[in-house]
Copies of this chain bind each other. A is one copy, B any other.
Amino acid sequence: MTQTIDKDLIIFANRLANESRKILRNHFRKKIKIRYKSDQSPVTEADTKVEKKLRMLIQRKYPKHGIIGEEFENIQINAEYLWCLDPLDGTAAFITGKPLFGTLIGLLREKIPIFGIIEHPILGERWSGGINNPAKLNGKNTKVRKCKNISNAMLYATSPEMFEGKNKKSFQRLSTMAKKTQYGADCYAYGLLASGHIDLIAEAKMKPCDFLALVPVVRASGGIISDWDGKPLNINSGGCVLASGNSKIHNQALKIINGK
């Protein structure tokens, strides 16, 4: 795609990440009210506080843009520009004092993810990237590494509990073929992939706000990201995500996942 992203949008996205960093740092390891959704996933005051703040800033600066977020209803979903917010990816990590959680800020244009930020407030690490914008970690260019064969691949997933039924068997096949599988990094894993420290991520039960910000960052770092059928991820995708450092192991992983 030959398009550029308005610099103001990138500056603004980083401003959103700054705001989130401030709020999450203030609430980390403090006593905090936790509520559990129907799927038993936790939500805290910090989640809702960040999302409210980011929504307010977007609506004030770009009233014509749309917003989808984890905790509140969608706004102008058919707008040219659409922001996808996950204020606190890894709430379970957050409420147990483990600093790998982050804020995901994605920007779509005409439904296509064009820019993303993976912000880690406690670790002070921010990955970003998009169309015609190289992937960066804290402002410094970063890229995937080469991994020629899946038998040497380091694989990450947030939790083995993401996988049920057919997906569980698919993931187990992939995990068996990979060099080593590790759990529990949430969105931090996508940063590790974008910086060439790991080779593969497979996840399931993801919602659009969990992955739309990741897509431009992974692509800008030279990586591949798709659903488990190899199709591009968009706001209507199912919850299965596969991210890889290169197309060779991505294709190998897709075959293993689909039992081919």
Chain A interface (Cβ < 8 Å from any Cβ of B): 29, 40, 42, 92-93, 95-100, 123, 154, 156, 159-161, 180-185, 188, 192, 195, 197-198
Q: Does the CB pair B96–A156 fall under 8 Å? A: yes
CB distance from A32 to the nearest CB of B (A): 11
Partner of A98 from the list B92, B93, B185 (CB cut-off 8 Å) is B185
CB-contact partner of A197 in B96, B156, B192, B197, under 8 A: B96
B residues in contact with A197, CB < 8 Å: 29, 96-98
Cα distance, A195 to B30, chains bound together (Å): 12
Chain B residue at minimum C-beta to C-beta distance from A42? B180
Is the CB–CB distance between A123 and B99 below 8 Å?
Answer: yes
Residues of B with C-beta under 8 A to A93:
182
- Which one of A40, A42, A195, A197 has the highest number of Cβ atoms from chain B below 10 Å of its Cβ? A197
Complex A-B: 14 CB contacts under 8 Å? A40-B180, A42-B180, A92-B154, A93-B182, A96-B197, A96-B198, A97-B195, A97-B197, A97-B198, A98-B100, A98-B182, A98-B197, A159-B181, A183-B184
Is the Cβ of B184 less than 8 Å from the Cβ of A97?
no
**Inter-chain pairs besides A96-B156, A98-B100, A100-B100, 20 sampled, C-beta below 8 Å:** A29-B197, A92-B180, A92-B182, A93-B182, A95-B154, A96-B154, A96-B197, A97-B195, A97-B197, A97-B198, A98-B182, A98-B185, A123-B123, A159-B182, A160-B183, A161-B181, A182-B184, A183-B183, A183-B184, A184-B184
